[in-house]
Structure 1
């Protein structure tokens, strides 16, 4: 198999490489008798019947300079192009809006240093220069990037504030889903309950790690899926009552060190209207 170092890293990060039936880590040194299995990258993180997106959608820019661009990603837009996803993606839209993107990274993911699920909105950073790509990637690997999310989940987590520490890997029965599994990659999610509604709770979530679908998988594992997240077991009746076509999950804040200046950068992304509307319905006890 002929593959670049960058592509190999992408495969490992996406849990596509297994050594002796366990998910591989970047630091693992292969031994003579090891059995290595490499799967294809998931076609897309878009689940079936996700909300339709406007192909002409404008990507709101929160900040930009010669090294990077910070956006408020709309729901219904993928981070990058992939097999199986025919909808809009961040890289294509930014390019059409006149942004120059770093050429580092796999061809279809150039400039991407983090990803948000198609159905998750919020603050996201994209590298424009090669030095920014390298430095930002390292900050994410070192877990020094501050990542704060807001989520409305079904029910009332007990305890109200806590940490979910459970390994995540591919779901054995669905290619596009992930699950808490033995031998999965270490995954840590911290949460605090901010408000309680009749059927649900608003959580502030801080990620210590950044696995695919991590928040959604962890919350579903403790039986409090994000409202509207039908892929991970949310109640479709409640989603319909709230006019919600995707999971109530928003990347609210992002903090990192600027790759060139060394300055601490911090950004917040406002809630989109569909999440505001659903929250208002819950707050008014109209469901």
Structure 2
């Protein structure tokens, strides 16, 4: 239920043909991975949109990071191992931390399991969300008959608890449709949590080919968004001593894409005042 307020196990590898809806969008052709930070235990990257984590695909995060590490040390090609301590969806871009050793992975995995990691996402959604901070706490469950899709939990299919805070930060239009830019702060990490919570609230993410209206558009339709507008903007996590807490952050990839106003449209504000 949405209320207004005042204020990791590794997934199984997928193969070509598995149930991932992309609607014709293809991954970047052999992109170079943008490395934000690296040391002996970790690599933090800015994951490109429309790139899978691993598996039998031409372009994956694992292959891109492995190529980066091999450039520095040729022995990495055979001896190095990348360990995912958290996941980002295929269509989601942004901050992603990978461990290079077993102890490093264990140290950070515990923080994700205990929900002590702070994550912030940026998204562009269809519709106008009134100013304020909203709490979405619907359970997230597998959608029966569709392994890849998720849905809100019910009494017969309760799913698992999930919590997302959503704050509007800008208002504008995209291809003639009203949109809101939001800051999202999940305190849990369920599959498709942000996408399902926003969809359930009535504000699907622009370019979400699985859950939004964009799923009805073909890849050659001029109104098809170039990507899903969901980005893992920053990550606050504790690394082993002597480093301690570190905030990893990227630039806002949606800045300038849509002209935004800090306030809702005038006619929307008028309607709210009359309600």
TM range (shorter): 0.7 to 0.9
Q: 1:276: Cα distance to partner?
A: 4.0
Residue 196 of structure 1 pairs with residue 177 of structure 2 = no
Q: 1:262: Cα distance to partner?
A: 5.0
Residues 47 and 94, structure 2, Cα contact 8 Å, conserved in 1:
yes
Distance in 1 (alpha carbons) for counterparts of 2:238 and 2:131:
33
**Matched residue count:** 236
Residues 42 and 175, structure 1, Cα contact 8 Å, conserved in 2:
no
Residues 153 and 200, structure 1, Cα contact 8 Å, conserved in 2:
yes
Q: TM-score, normalised by structure 2?
A: 0.76
Distance in 2 (alpha carbons) for counterparts of 1:167 and 1:151:
21
Cα distance 1:41–1:62, how it changes in 2: closer, same or farther (>3 A)? closer
Cα distance 1:194–1:167, how it changes in 2: closer, same or farther (>3 A)? same
Which residue is equivalent to 1:216? 195
Taking only aligned residues, the RMSD between alpha carbons, in angstroms, comes to 2.8
Distance in 2 (alpha carbons) for counterparts of 1:158 and 1:169:
28
Indicate which of 112, 121, 124 corresponds to 1:149: 121
Q: TM-score, normalised by structure 1?
A: 0.73
Segments of structure 2 that go 5 or more residues without pairing to the other structure are 1-7, 71-75, 266-275
Residue 65 of structure 1 pairs with residue 14 of structure 2 = no
Cα distance 1:172–1:160, how it changes in 2: closer, same or farther (>3 A)? farther
Indicate which of 171, 186, 189 corresponds to 2:143: 171
Q: What are the residue-to-residue correspondences of 1:1-287 with 2, within 5 Å? A: 10=9, 46-81=20-55, 86-98=57-69, 103=81, 110-158=82-130, 160-182=132-154, 183-198=158-173, 199-235=178-214, 244-272=225-253, 275-276=254-255, 278-280=257-259
Structure that is richer in strand per residue: 2
Residues 49 and 93, structure 2, Cα contact 8 Å, conserved in 1:
yes
